[in-house]
Amino acid sequence: MRKQARHHGLTLDYDGRAVPEETLRLILRGLGQDPDGPPEGPAAPKRMTVPKGARCYLPASLQDAPGWGIFCQLYELRSERSWGIGDFADLAELARICGAAGADFLGINPVHALFTAAPERTSPFSPSNRRFLNPLYIAPDALGCARPAMPDGDLVDYAAVARAKMVALRHVFDHFGTDPAFDAFIAEGGAALRRHALFEAISRVEGGGWHGWPEGLQDPESPETETFVDANRSEIDFQLWLQWIARRQLSEAQAAAREAGMRLGLYLDLAVGEALDGSATWSGAAVALPGLTVGAPPDLFSEEGQNWHLAAPSPAGLRDTDFAPFRAMIDAQLRDAGALRIDHAMALWQLFLIPEGAPASAGTHLRFPLPEMLATLAEASRERAAVVIGEDLGFVPDGFRDAMEKARILSYRIAYFEQTGDGFKPPADYPEMALACLSTHDLPVLAGWWRGDDIDHRVEHGLISKKAGKAQHKHRAWERRHMTKAMGVKADVKEAELPEAVLDAAHRFIAATPCLLAGVRLADLVGPEAPTNLPGTVESYPNWRPRSPTPLEAIAAHPTFARITALMRAARPRP
């Protein structure tokens, strides 16, 4: 069996810990193999080969004049006109603000379809289907709807947002006549779009997530499902219309970004997988390995490892479909974007799979067909003239970053992590083929990092021990000293709150790297300071809910926003 497992690209042990035999058997059976039989079928790649011609798009202007941009979580935006959550109209307006400030891109969280019938499922990284969009980001007022009385607190109330928007949007749809553009959108979307709309329509009746549906409806081709279609055509058409409106408004935001002078425009984010019970797995768009979920092995941030509860794609399924679902999913991201960030880019080479119900320590890595996936990704990138950034954090296999560079996928370099035993790396040591930034959605803003809020949160939520927390606080004091030294700024490293001079120096630091792109986190400038996401928690922390304390209308004049964007604009001017 171990020979069979090696043939199909399974890791057999980790630092002396043998992967459980039950895990190996489960994965092999999912791949259609007899665990006790001889190896059959194509072997997993043993080396990270980049096919000739598998080169992603990279505009020459970035090599002549490296760019910069701003990241935010779309839902966190607050404006006078939006309905309790940032939306695509807010996105368009923020693009105009950032474009006027000199930014070349505006990056946001994944806007994949979630579960409109289960709005409490808030994580943009646990989508129902990555090919389609989240209707909660539609701006109803752009369709003539008056905003009802709604909660306006510091956390997004997704249930209230969903109730208000679905009622208003349904009213607009009920008075919608015909439009050739809508008909063309449905025709272009084909069976995949219609099945997603059907999934959403059934969810409105049976609840979000198909694992709890009546058995007959769990099969999209069953007689019971056909009966449902006949009885609910209007609801299905409504779901199709929602996708059309969402796509149209996202396209308008990209147009606004480009009109504002951005070289790239919107920078979208691709989640690493899809929910076990979502539209993609129900419809067959995701060829998943049964009984397995995607996660991460134990590390600094979670001593027990992480289970992301995402469907585990099948390498055999990808090959059998000639990578068509993967190609369609990538193309869906690039329709309205000038750049794409691939979360956990190592998934192009391997994924850590965990048997359902087992701890992460029982998991192992499974190899994927990297050459074919890179070729598919690069072709889509060139066709859409979109830059690709690979989030290469965590467990990065030897040689992976070299393969990314050959494929012209930019590395993702976070200043917090770019350190050695002697201190933080200087700007000159950063690679050119990369995006440099201070932090990401799983990490604290610089003010929180300075205080060690992230360490306290990990201890509070039981992700690390108190002893580990004390050790990490001690190291954080070391990090503060060495960060200010690397940045050439004089500051009292024992000061409880982040000195303004350090925030400025940090942005000068990333701007001074040779990286083709540099990213500024909007929350570092105008809030919120509360963690966006605390990895390893589900219900104990309000992940994906904090809202900005600064209204969109006040961002351009905000003193920190004005100061940092002027600094970035001077350091990295547009050509």
Average pLDDT, the chain: 95
pLDDT at 306: 84
User: Peptide bond preceding 549: is omega within 30 degrees of 0, i.e. cis?
Assistant: no
Q: State the CATH number of the domain containing residue 255.
A: 3.20.20.80
Strand-pair category, 129-133 with 112-113: antiparallel
At 128-151, the pLDDT tens digits run: 999 999 999 999 999 999 999 998
> In whole angstroms, what is the distance from residue 35 CA to residue 390 CA?
34
* Range in 247-256, 285-294, 484-493, 541-550 with the lowest mean pLDDT: 285-294
Q: What letter does residue 498 receive in the DSSP assignment?
A: P
Kindly tell me the sign of the dihedral angle through the C-alpha atoms of 533, 539, 540, 545.
positive
In this predicted model, what pLDDT tens digit does every residue of 499-514 receive, in sequence order?
999 999 999 999 999 9
CA of residue 165 relative to chain centroid, distance = 24
Which SS3 state, helix, strand or coil, does residue 342 take? strand
Token pair in block for residue 326: 């993967």
Write the CB contacts of 324 (distance below 8 Å, at least 6 apart in sequence).
none
Output the 3-class SS for 90-131.
Answer: HHHHHHHHHHHCCCCEEECCCCEECCCCCCCCCCCCCCCEEE
Residue 208 belongs to a domain: yes
AA letter at 55: R
The helix/strand/coil state of 207 is: coil
What is the predicted pLDDT for the residue at 39? 87
Q: Is 203 helix (H, G, I), strand (E, B) or coil?
A: helix
Does residue 94 register a pLDDT over 90?
A: yes
Residue-wise pLDDT for 162-216, tens only, equals 999 999 999 999 999 899 999 999 999 999 999 999 999 999 999 999 999 999 9
In a domain, 289, yes or no: no
How far is Cα 499 from Cα 259, in angstroms, rounded to an integer?
36
Distances (CA, A) of 287 to 23, 151, 314: 19, 40, 6
Phi and psi dihedrals of 440, rounded to 5? -140, -175
Q: Are 40 and 75 in contact (CB under 8 A)?
A: no
Instruction: Report which listed range, 190-199, 286-295, 312-321, is most confident.
Output: 190-199
In this prediction, residue 301 has a pLDDT band, given cuts at 50, 70 and 90, of: low
Q: Percent of the chain at pLDDT above 70?
A: 99
pLDDT beyond 80 at 557: yes
Q: Looking at the predicted structure, is the pLDDT value of residue 538 above 90? A: no
pLDDT at 299 over 80: no
| pLDDT for residue 303 | 67
Q: Residue 94: inside a domain, yes or no?
A: yes
Q: Is the pLDDT of residue 537 over 90?
A: no
Report the alpha-carbon angle 333-285-394, nearest 5: 60
Q: What confidence category does residue 287 fall into, taking pLDDT thresholds of 50, 70 and 90?
A: confident
Q: What is the pLDDT of residue 536?
A: 79
Q: What is the pLDDT of residues 108-127, one digit of tens each?
A: 999 999 999 999 999 999 99
Structure tokens at 506: 């940090």
pLDDT at 394: 83
Query: What is the spatial distance between Cα 275 and Cα 129, in angstroms, rounded to a whole number?
Result: 8
What residues make up the domain containing 160?
2-274+312-350+367-420+428-571
Distance, in Å, from the CA atom of 67 to the CA atom of 27, rounded to the nearest integer, reads: 43
Residue with tokens 């000739």: 52
Domains: count for the chain: 1
Q: Is the pLDDT assigned to residue 465 strictly greater than 90?
A: yes
Q: Are 411 and 440 in contact (CB under 8 A)?
A: no
pLDDT mean over 253-269: 98
Closest CA to 545 of 134, 95, 148, 124: 124
Q: Is residue 295 part of a domain?
A: no
Whether the pLDDT of residue 41 is over 90: the answer is no
406: in domain: yes
Residue at 285 is within a domain: no
The predicted model gives 442-463 an average pLDDT of 95
pLDDT of residue 40: 87
Whether 304 contacts 231, CB under 8 Å: no
Residue 6 has pLDDT above 70, yes or no: yes
Cα–Cα distances in Å, from 126 out to 221, 287, 361, 443, 538? 25, 16, 21, 18, 12
Q: Are 207 and 117 in contact (CB under 8 A)?
A: yes
Q: Which residues contact 310 (CB under 8 A, 6 or more apart)?
A: 126, 271, 272, 273, 274, 275, 276, 293, 294
Phi, psi of 389 (to 5 degrees): -120, 130
Assigned domain for 93 exists? yes
Q: Among 65, 114, 516, which Cα is nearest to 277's?
A: 114
Q: What is the pLDDT of residue 15?
A: 78
Measured CA to CA, the distance from residue 520 to residue 448 in angstroms comes to 16
Cα-Cα-Cα-Cα dihedral sign, residues 61, 570, 515, 73: negative
pLDDT single digits (tens) 397-412: 999 999 999 999 999 9
Nearest to 358 by CA among 127, 122, 19, 35: 19
- Can you say whether residue 111 is alpha, beta or left, with left for phi > 0 and alpha for psi between -120 and 50 degrees? alpha
Residue 273 scores a pLDDT above 90: yes
pLDDT digits (tens, 9 = 90+) for 342-365: 999 999 999 999 999 999 989 999
Q: The tokens of 384 are what?
A: 């859409």
Determine the average pLDDT of the residues in 431-449.
97
Matching residue, tokens 């994906």: 544
Q: How many residues does the chain have?
A: 575
Give me the phi and psi of 313, to 5 degrees please. -65, 155
User: Is 466 within a domain?
Assistant: yes
Three-state DSSP at 450 gives helix
